[in-house]
Structure 1
Amino acid sequence: MKGIIYTRVSSEEQVKGTSLEHQEELCRNFCKDRGIEVLAVFREEGASAKTADRAEFLRAIEFCRKNKGKIDAFVVYKVDRFARNTEDHFYVRKMLLDYGATLNSVSEPIGNNPAEKFVETVLAGSAEFDNAVRKQRCVDGMISRLNQGINPWQPPIGYISPQTKKRGEKKNEPDKPHEEIFPIIQKGLKEFSKGLYSQAEMLNLFDKLGLSKIRGKKTRPQFVSKIFCNHLKFYAGILVNPWTKEEIRGIHKPMITKEEYHKIEIILSGRSNRVKHNRLNPNFPLKRTVLCGHCGMPLTGSCSTGNGGKYLYYHCRNRDCAMYGKAINKKKLEEDFVAELKRRTPKEKFLAIFKATILDLWEEKGKDFRMDAQKYERQIAILDGKRKRIFEMREDGSYSQKEFQERKEEIENEIVATKISLSETRIDQFDVEGILSYANNFISDLGRQWLDLSQSHSRFQKMVFPEGISYKRDEGFGTARMGLIYELNKTFGANKSLLVPLRGIEPRLTD
C-alpha cells in the first residue's frame, strides 16, 4: 500500500512547538504498523481553523488526483486536522474515494462499516462544534470591545492601529489619528460638507493637500468612493455592530462632527439645496479673462453701495499683490477692452488673402477627399455583393443558422464602418465660401461683436485671448498670446505675406 501524510496546526504557537513533528511521528508509526509506504508529507503551518481552502491541503488533494489509483491511504493524526466542518469533511472524503484513497485517522476509529461511519460523523460534527464555539468567542470579544467604543478591526486611512495583535495582546485602546493623513482627510470632508466640491473634484483636492505625496501614488476615484461609502460613520465617531446594526459612539477622535456627517449624507443622496457659485457673472464679463498686470491673477468683480447708488468695479483678489483691494472702474476697463479689440482686429487685406488661401487649400484637399469617396463607394458595392451571397448560401444550405448569423453580422459591421468613412469624405456638401464670408464679417469688427454679445462673452474672449490678457490701471493692456487667426494676422503685418505656414496651412501660389 502507498499513502501520504497530512499534518496541520492552526496557530503560530503550535508551529513553534512540537505539534507538527509529533503528529508526523505518530502518522509514520501508524503507516509502518499497517505496511503503508509514505510517498509524501504535507505540513500545514498556521492555517485558519475554520476554512477548507488551505494551500498544503490542496497540494495533497492534487497529489492524489494526479496519482489517481496509486494512493491508497490519506493519513491524518485526527479528524479535526482534516476538516472542522462536517459538510467539508464528507465532501473531501468522497473526493479521496474517487481518487482511490481512503481517509485514515491515527487516533480515531473511522472506516466504512456502520459503527465506524457513526463515530466518524460524531467526530467531524464535534470538530465543527468546536470551531463554532471558537468563532462565537471571537465574536463576543469583538462585540465587547465595540460596546466599549473601541473599533476591533483595522481602522480606515487617517488612523493608526495600536498593533496590539503583534504583541499578543487584545485591542483595548482606540485607534489614534495619523499625524499627516488625518488632517488632510479631515479638511477634505469638511470642505465637501459645505457643498463646494463634487466627489470627482475631491481627487484633486486631496492630492493638492499632499495625500498623493504621502501615499506615494495618485488618488483614485475608488479611494474617494470608499471614504464616502464605507468609512464616513467612523470618521464621524460612530461604530456599527455588523451583527445587530446598532450604532455605538466610538472613543476615537472623530474627523467631522455629527452635523457635518449629516450634511455629507444629504449631499450624497442628491437632496442638497446648495447653490452653486456662478463664476460667470453677467455684470462682470471680463472676470477671469483680464489678468492683474502685477501678479498675473485673474481679476474679479465686486459691487459697493453708497449715496450715489451701486458702484461696480474690478479688482485683484490676490492678498499678496500690491494692487489687492484697489478698484478698477468697470466702465473704464470695458471701454479699454473694446478699444484693444479694435486695435487687434485683422485688416481687410489680410482677411481677403486668408479667405483665398483657405479656399485654395480646400480645393486641393477636396480632390483627395473625392478620391477617397470613390474608393469607399467601390468597397460598399463589393460588401453589398458579399452580403447578398451570404443570404444565398443560407438558402441553399451551405451555411448553418449559426454560421449565417456570424457572417451576416460580420459583413454588416464592415458595411457600417465603410459608410461612416464615406460620409466623412463628403465635404462638397459644405458651403465653405459662405462660411468664410460669415467668419470674415464676424472678426472684422471684434469690438462691436463683443458689445453685441449677451451670453457668450467668455467663449468669445477665450477665442481671442485663450490665456487671458494682462491689464494695469492707468497703463492699459499688455501683450498676450491670441487665437490662431490673430497670430496669423500679426505674422502678416510683419511680413506682408502668408508664406510662413502655420499648423499645416500651406497655400498654393500662382505666378
Structure 2
Amino acid sequence: MKKQNYKSDETNVIIYCRVSTDEQRQGTSVDVQEERLKAYCAYKGYNIINIPEFHDCKEDESAKTFEKRPVMQAILKYIRKNRGKVQKLLFLRWNRFSRDVIEAPSVVGDLLKIGVEPNAIEEELNYNSSSWPVLLGAYIGIAQSDNIARSLATIDGIRATLKSGKCSNKAPRGYKNVRESKHRCYVVINEEAAKPIRTAFNELSKGVISANYARKRYCPHIPESTFLDMLRNPFYMGKIRVPAYKDEPEELVQGQHEALISEEVFYKVQDVLDGKKKSKPKLEKAINPDLFLRRVIVCPKCGHAFTGSRSKGNGGYYTYYNCCEDAKHMRVRAEEANEAFARYVSCLKPNEAVLRLYEAVLLDVQGGAKREIRSEIYALQKQLNDKRKQIEDAEDMMITDKGHSDRYTRILERYEKDARELETRIELLETGNRGNIEPKLDYAISLINNLDKYIRDAPIEVKLKLIGSIFDGKIEFDGKSYRTNSYNKVLDLIYEQTNELRGVTAQEKGADCSTPRFSTRTRARTGMDCSNGV
C-alpha cells in the first residue's frame, strides 16, 4: 500500500464528492465538484490525502442516510483510525454531505470531537462563531425539505399514472415495456414469457393442483415467493392496483394494457390460494355400492380386474360382477359375491382373549401417562401457590414501604408474569389429560370383532378403507371362494397369537379358516359358516 504523505506544517484534508443518479442527469457532475474542491485546496494551501479503499472519494449514492454510502463510511472509518492526521473533511455544499437534519448534526459533532472539521466550501461555517449550529440546521433542513417535496411529487405522479390505468414501473413477468418516445410508453404481452404463466393460472384455477406444483410444473425458473406474488397481482386480469394513501383507500382501476387471463380465472386462483376451494381431484366416477369389490377382486383365470354391470331379468334388474378381459371367464351375481366376501372377512375375527389383552395394555399405557401428567400438574400447582404467596408479600411491601413503590411494582409485574405462565402450563396439561381412550377403544374392538357387519352395512368409503387395511394386494375370486397371498403382516401375527391362546393344533390350523397364511389358501364358500366360535 502506498504510504500517505502527511505534512505536519500543512492542513491535511479529505475531499468528498457525491452525486445522485437524478442529479447526474441534470448535469451536476462529480468532476465539477472535484475540480472546484482541488482549486480551493490549492488556493488555501491544503494537502489532499486519499484513503486506500477509494482513491478519488467519489460517490453516486443518496444522501438520506450515512449507512448506505460506502465511500462516506470508509472516510469516517479512516479518520477515526488515523486520529490527528486529518484536519478537515471538505465538500462542495452541505447537501452533498447530508440531507438528514437529525443524523447530520450528530456526525458533525463526532468529527469535531476528534479534531476534524467538516465544511462546505460554498456554504462555509465558522465554528468559532456561536451561530454555526443555526446555519448548519438551515443548510441541512433546506436539503431535507427539498427531498421531502420531491418525494411527495414523485408519489403524486406515480398515483396519477396508476389511476389512469398505466404501469408506473417495470412491467410484470409475461409483459414487456415499449417506449416510442420520452412521453409515449406502454406495456404489451411478451407471448413467449406469458405462455407458461397463463397455463399456470388456468391449471391452478381448476383447484386440482397446488401453487407449488404449478410453479414447478409450468414456471420452474420463477422463485417461489415471486410466483406467489405474481398469482396475487391483478395486473394479469387487466386491472391496476392503486395502493392506499393518506385518507384514500386501496382501489382497482381498469388498466390500459391487455389482460393475460380472465377475471373469472384470476378470482378462482385467489379462492384456491385462500383455501376456499379444495385442491383435490374429484373421483372420475362414483362407485356403485353394490359393486364395491370391482377394483379389489381379480379373475383367477387371467388375473384381470373385475368390472360390473346391470342386467334386466325376471322380476327386475340384477347386478353382476364379470371379468373385464372376457366375461365368459367369470360372471356372478353381485349380492352373492358380496355376501361371500363378508363371511370371508369374518374369518379374520381374532380371539376375545387377544382383544382383552390389547385393551388392558392400552389402558395401562394411558394410565401411566395420566399419572405422570397428574404428578407434573401437582408440582406446577405447588410452584404457583409459592408464586402467589410472593405476590401477596410484594403487595404488602408496596403498602408499607411507599418510598420504593416503583421497585416493588417491577417485582410484582415479574411475579404476576411467572404466575400467568404457570397457570397456562397447568391448563394445557389438564386439557390434554381429559382425553378418554375408552370410547375409541370400544369402537376399534367392535370394528375388529365385527368386520363382516361393517362390510355389509358400512358406507362405501369405510368398506374400501377396511379392505385396504387388511389386504396388501388383489384378491382372487372364482365365483365361490376367495383367496389371497397378500395379507397385512400385523394381522397375520395376531391370528397366530389367537391360535396359540385357543390351543389350536397344527392339524386344526390347516382346517380352520380363521388362520390366514401368506402361503396358504383362505376360503369362504357360499353358504359356508366361518364362525370362530369365540
Taking structure 2 as the reference length, the TM-score comes to 0.58
Aligned to 1:361: 361
**1:471/1:477 contact within 8 Å kept:** yes
**2:298/2:474 contact within 8 Å kept:** yes
Distance 1:472 1:141 in 2: 72
Aligned to 2:105: 94
Matched, 1:106 2:112: no
Aligned to 1:507: none
Structure 1 residues 304 and 440, CA gap change in structure 2 (3 angstroms): same
Matched, 1:352 2:352: yes
CA positional deviation for 1:7: 0.8
Give, as a single letter, the amino acid of the residue that structure 2 aligns with 1:397: M
CA positional deviation for 1:206: 0.3
Structure 1 residues 91 and 191, CA gap change in structure 2 (3 angstroms): same
Distance 2:274 2:364 in 1: 57
Higher Cα radius of gyration: 2
Distance 1:185 1:331 in 2: 52
Give, as a single letter, the amino acid of the residue that structure 2 aligns with 1:76: F
- Match of 1:458, SS state, is helix
CA positional deviation for 1:462: 1.9
**1:390/1:408 contact within 8 Å kept:** no
Taking structure 1 as the reference length, the TM-score comes to 0.60
- Match of 1:249, SS state, is coil
- Match of 1:256, SS state, is coil
Aligned to 1:155: 171
- Match of 1:255, SS state, is coil
**In the alignment, which of 6, 9, 25 is matched to residue 19 of structure 2?**
9
**1:304/1:310 contact within 8 Å kept:** yes
- Match of 2:397, SS state, is coil
Matched, 1:462 2:465: yes
Distance 1:478 1:30 in 2: 104
CA positional deviation for 1:77: 2.3
| Worse-matched range after superposition: 279-288 or 441-450 | 279-288
Distance 1:123 1:401 in 2: 45
| Worse-matched range after superposition: 375-384 or 283-292 | 283-292
Structure 1 residues 257 and 405, CA gap change in structure 2 (3 angstroms): closer
Aligned residues: 453
**2:472/2:488 contact within 8 Å kept:** no
List aligned pairs for 1:179-328, cutoff 5 A. Answer: 179=192, 182-193=194-205, 196-197=206-207, 201-207=209-215, 209-211=217-219, 213-215=220-222, 219=224, 223-224=227-228, 226-229=229-232, 231-232=233-234, 234-238=235-239, 247-250=254-257, 254-257=259-262, 260-261=265-266, 284=289, 290=295
Aligned to 1:45: 59
Deviations 1:190-243 (A, max 9, x none): 2455xx318xx53244046343x444x6x46x743x2343x23x3234556889
Structure 1 residues 289 and 2, CA gap change in structure 2 (3 angstroms): farther
**2:166/2:257 contact within 8 Å kept:** yes
Distance 1:385 1:158 in 2: 65
Structure 1 residues 94 and 431, CA gap change in structure 2 (3 angstroms): closer
**1:299/1:315 contact within 8 Å kept:** yes
**1:289/1:298 contact within 8 Å kept:** yes
Matched, 1:397 2:400: no
**2:207/2:272 contact within 8 Å kept:** no
**1:387/1:412 contact within 8 Å kept:** no
Deviations 1:447-486 (A, max 9, x none): 3223333xx5424532442488647898897859777874
**2:242/2:253 contact within 8 Å kept:** yes
Structure 1 residues 65 and 3, CA gap change in structure 2 (3 angstroms): same
- Match of 2:255, SS state, is strand
CA positional deviation for 1:257: 3.3
Structure 1 residues 74 and 496, CA gap change in structure 2 (3 angstroms): same
Structure 1 residues 479 and 92, CA gap change in structure 2 (3 angstroms): same
Aligned to 2:4: none
Distance 1:311 1:182 in 2: 55
RMSD over equivalenced CA pairs, Å: 6.4
CA positional deviation for 1:355: 1.8
CA positional deviation for 1:187: 2.3
Aligned to 1:177: 190
Distance 2:271 2:427 in 1: 49
Structure 1 residues 91 and 127, CA gap change in structure 2 (3 angstroms): closer
Structure 1 residues 247 and 269, CA gap change in structure 2 (3 angstroms): farther
Matched, 1:452 2:457: yes
- Match of 2:119, SS state, is strand
Distance 1:53 1:334 in 2: 82
- Match of 2:16, SS state, is strand
List aligned pairs for 1:77-156, cutoff 5 A. Answer: 77-79=92-94, 81-82=96-97, 88=99, 90-91=101-102, 94-99=105-110, 100=112, 104-107=119-122, 151=167, 153-156=169-172
Give, as a single letter, the amino acid of the residue that structure 1 aligns with 2:414: E
Structure 1 residues 421 and 144, CA gap change in structure 2 (3 angstroms): closer
User: For structure 2, which runs of at least 5 residues remain unmatched after alignment?
Assistant: 1-10, 246-250, 399-406, 504-534
**1:464/1:482 contact within 8 Å kept:** no
Distance 1:430 1:377 in 2: 20
Aligned to 2:520: none
**2:62/2:69 contact within 8 Å kept:** no
**2:63/2:97 contact within 8 Å kept:** no
